[in-house]
Structure 1
Amino acid sequence: MIRIPEKKYSHVQNLHIEQLKQPVHDAIQFYLNCCNIISGDLNTSQLDKNIKNNFKKMTMKSFLANISTEKYDELDIQEVFRNQNFKAEFLNYYSHIKDLLTEMLDPKSMIYFEHILGKKPESLIFVHDYLFSNYSMLKTDEEKQVFEPNITNKGAVFKLIESIYDYNNFRDGRLVSGWGAYNLCEELEINVCPYCNRIYTFTVVNLKREITRPELDHYFPRSKFPIFAISFYNLIPSCKVCNSSIKKDEYLKIDEYLHPYINCLSPFYHFDFISLDVEATKGENKNNKIFINKNGFVDTKSDNFLNKFLIEDIYDRHKNIVPIFAKKHTRYPDSALNELSKLLDIPKEELLLILYTPPEEEDIINTSLGKLQRDLYLKFRSFYDV
């Protein structure tokens, strides 16, 4: 895995929070107003109190549908409050839900909504632990705790949180004008999947037409952590293979696995290969075995990541790259490079870079198979006297 450099995302993180904070604030405030109306602190005419966005009636209905017993098509806002047509889970715990929402609007709280949108990955899990510890009284209709460790039960509170941190509308660019999944991916410019460093993930928009972009992996799956559904550090631009085919909806614990915004593969781990016959050493066939050389070191997070994303299995299919390097070494051995260096008055180190054209360290993240290519270059470089 390749770590996403901070220079690529620091400004984007701030932009993401700035763009999303108003719609998230207003959704929290809407549900808080609902609680206050039920408790008698507000009347229904004040449903939009402290809400900056001018909510349309259909928006209010879609919010209310998450906590009401009425179907969306049959929902009448005044009647819902007059007859208390709310799901039992919401009615039973609305005072605790009110406390939860109030905390989300408190800048001093651990679960302040702007913190949730921008907290780093290692901090997000503490947010969930805080919810589990401090809101253990919240139960679903099946009497299961809402914030169970690593899984959130899909009751009224789940849907309420899901609609506050609304990934579906963010993804489609409907949560706020001018900021959605395509905008985020355009700003980040992550052109190769950071998980596998193989598949290109360009964002392409032509004449306002959205053509392609990376998938956004939820490191903490939104099916289990809906509160992190649009958190910046929980949206990892990635390829379809890594996101949809390999990782899927699995929760990878942050203290056991690498995370692209905070970790890279152990610096002691490198791609390496073994030639399985003499012809392969000369680049005359692809009979090589590609593997991760750990150089005698053990890094548990790196090992878990490699196993989870099947890196060695997948990369062994790229053995066609090894003969390209081997042929160059066969045709340009150390003695030939020495002569060229004297003839052209160019340092041998520079000639090696011209011959093997490895990506620079900082360019690996934007180069398909960049780490493999650079590691192979370093291996073949060791065969020369430089």
Structure 2
Amino acid sequence: MVKIELSNSIKELHFQYCKRYVNFKKDIDLYIDEKQLKKINNLEKKYTLEDIKNVHNEFISFCENNLEEIAIGNPNRLKEIITTVKSEYRVIDFMFEKNVTVYIDGELVKYSDVILEMYNYEGFTKFNSTSKGFLYRKEDKNIIFNNIKNNTEGLSDSTINEFVELLYDRLNIKKQNIIKRIEEDKFYSYWNAYTFVFLIDIKTCPYCNRQYITPIFYDNGRMRADLDHFFPKSKYPYLSMSIYNLIPCCKFCNSSLKGKKEFDIDTINPYESSIDDYIKFKFEILQNKEIDIKLENKNECGSVKIDKYIDIFKLEQQYKYHTNIVDELICRKLMYSDEYIEDIRKYFEKKNLYISSQKIKEIAIGYITDNKNINKEPLSKLKRDVVNQMNGKIDILNEEEDILEYILKCLEIY
């Protein structure tokens, strides 16, 4: 729920990968039958098969000439590219939009799949390597570093260091295996969806902040976050390998909730903004002491479109299940009063351990105040918003008797 930042290392690696593995094809053996041509010719202009072949070649030239911006351009640049394609290559955009089918070398396929294959997204999702335990040797890292530096181009020293640390230290890929790929000019095949989610280092789903998405990589099993195409690859296949179009997220948000639903072009994007800035969770204790959780839209001026985002991911509905978390936070907040927290701080101070009252409060109550760390722990936004609300008065818990009753209720639960 906090804006995702991409490092220069990620962008360098991704662009170099795209330069080698995106395979643009012009003058392909393309044929469109009469039925599909009739569908296309619902546009103002009437297109012949030859016209479409020519526009295809022009579109591929556009993609090729703008490879760097398509591969690593920020969300605003991607929006500009979408606008350009819609205006200057209208028939191409129409073929994506309407799922027009074509014959390529005699085989019937969707035209969008032709472009998708050129960008090789399926290849990017695979990691054909094994992870083996071995004795760590610093000199091996130096050998790998020098091999990469001397035999590849386009990577800074800091990027090489970061990638070597991932491959050698964290994924336990043997030195000889890495060097073999360098010698075979296949080093960039190590850049893929798995290494991307390792390097981006987001621990929870940026869409919902409810699920861990940390990757695991072993010989006998591996898993990683889903990669959601913010602009769907079925409609924008030329953005299928755009790094700012790949959102690491949980399966619930990607498959069960978003699926093929499409965001508006100006819907809030996790690479552009923090949804945390525009929504707030609030709770209410009902007369029967039950908890109700609501989501408040703070974007009253409507300058950023978040309504569709909230609706697609059913954020309020998802969070209504977490009343037990709110119960526990209220209980902890009541038990660890500001006076008690100060007593704990003074106790540590006498032991020459200097911990701020705020840090003790975070540990004791169980929440995070630093907005930048929200993506590191599930439900951290809910917890922070609830505690912030409790820094005011909880209307229904005015009397000491009510407070003790609530604490006892929570202790029975937990």
Q: TM-score under structure 1 normalisation?
A: 0.70
In structure 2, the partner of 1:158 is: 112
In structure 2, the partner of 1:302 is: 306
In structure 1, the partner of 2:17 is: 19
**Is 1:315 paired with 2:324?**
no
Shift of 1:243: 0.5
* AA of the residue aligned to 1:321: I
Q: Determine if contact 2:336/2:365 at 8 Å carries over to the other structure.
A: no
**Is 1:244 paired with 2:248?**
no
Q: TM-score under structure 2 normalisation?
A: 0.66
Cα distance in 1 for partners of 2:191, 2:282 equals 42
Cα distance in 2 for partners of 1:296, 1:233 equals 24
In structure 2, the partner of 1:288 is: 291
Q: Determine if contact 1:3/1:264 at 8 Å carries over to the other structure.
A: yes
C-alpha change, 1:288 and 1:150, in structure 2 (3 Å) is farther
**Is 1:148 paired with 2:94?**
yes
* Pick aligned residue for 1:192 from 188, 201, 204: 204
Q: Determine if contact 1:268/1:294 at 8 Å carries over to the other structure.
A: yes
In structure 2, the partner of 1:82 is: none
Cα distance in 1 for partners of 2:223, 2:48 equals 40
C-alpha change, 1:196 and 1:358, in structure 2 (3 Å) is same
Q: Determine if contact 2:341/2:357 at 8 Å carries over to the other structure.
A: yes
Q: Determine if contact 2:86/2:93 at 8 Å carries over to the other structure.
A: yes
* Pick aligned residue for 1:225 from 228, 233, 236: 236
**Is 1:352 paired with 2:311?**
no
Q: Determine if contact 2:283/2:292 at 8 Å carries over to the other structure.
A: yes
| 1:56-205 equivalent positions in 2, closer than 5 A | 67=30, 93-106=52-65, 112-136=66-90, 145-148=91-94, 151=97, 153-156=99-102, 157-173=111-127, 177-205=189-217
Which range is displaced more, 220-229 or 91-100? 91-100
Cα distance in 2 for partners of 1:163, 1:90 equals 22
C-alpha change, 1:184 and 1:338, in structure 2 (3 Å) is closer
Cα distance in 2 for partners of 1:150, 1:365 equals 34
In structure 1, the partner of 2:277 is: 267
Identity %: 26
Shift of 1:363: 1.5
Q: Determine if contact 2:96/2:234 at 8 Å carries over to the other structure.
A: no
Shift of 1:336: 4.3
C-alpha change, 1:334 and 1:127, in structure 2 (3 Å) is closer
Cα distance in 1 for partners of 2:283, 2:96 equals 39
Q: Determine if contact 1:117/1:231 at 8 Å carries over to the other structure.
A: yes
* AA of the residue aligned to 2:194: Y
User: For each residue in 1:338-371, what CA deviation from the matched residue of structure 2 results, as whole angstroms up to 9, or x when unmatched?
Assistant: 6556666676545423421322322210111111
C-alpha change, 1:103 and 1:371, in structure 2 (3 Å) is same
Cα distance in 1 for partners of 2:122, 2:243 equals 15
C-alpha change, 1:154 and 1:216, in structure 2 (3 Å) is farther
**Is 1:375 paired with 2:373?**
no
Q: Which has the higher contact order (CA 8 A, sep 6+)?
A: 2
Q: Determine if contact 2:55/2:92 at 8 Å carries over to the other structure.
A: no
Q: Determine if contact 2:204/2:376 at 8 Å carries over to the other structure.
A: yes
User: For each residue in 1:11-59, what CA deviation from the matched residue of structure 2 results, as whole angstroms up to 9, or x when unmatched?
Assistant: 21221111121221xx21xx23xx2xxxxxxxxxxxxxxxxxxxxxxxx
* AA of the residue aligned to 1:124: L
User: For each residue in 1:199-235, what CA deviation from the matched residue of structure 2 results, as whole angstroms up to 9, or x when unmatched?
Assistant: 111111014x551101110111111111111110111
User: For each residue in 1:57-78, what CA deviation from the matched residue of structure 2 results, as whole angstroms up to 9, or x when unmatched?
Assistant: xxxxxxx6x7479xxxxxxxxx
User: For each residue in 1:133-156, what CA deviation from the matched residue of structure 2 results, as whole angstroms up to 9, or x when unmatched?
Assistant: 2223xxxxxxxx331398253334
C-alpha change, 1:380 and 1:352, in structure 2 (3 Å) is farther
Shift of 1:182: 1.4
How many residues are aligned here?
307
* AA of the residue aligned to 2:15: I
Cα distance in 1 for partners of 2:221, 2:305 equals 36
Q: Determine if contact 2:75/2:245 at 8 Å carries over to the other structure.
A: yes
Q: Determine if contact 1:204/1:212 at 8 Å carries over to the other structure.
A: yes
* AA of the residue aligned to 2:216: V
Unaligned runs of 5+ in 1: 36-63, 70-87, 107-111, 137-144, 281-286
Shift of 1:374: 1.5
Q: Determine if contact 1:152/1:225 at 8 Å carries over to the other structure.
A: no
Cα distance in 1 for partners of 2:330, 2:377 equals 21
C-alpha change, 1:288 and 1:151, in structure 2 (3 Å) is same
Cα distance in 2 for partners of 1:342, 1:128 equals 59
CA RMSD after TM alignment = 3.0
Unaligned runs of 5+ in 2: 33-46, 103-110, 129-185, 350-354, 395-414
C-alpha change, 1:165 and 1:323, in structure 2 (3 Å) is same
C-alpha change, 1:132 and 1:327, in structure 2 (3 Å) is closer
Shift of 1:114: 1.9
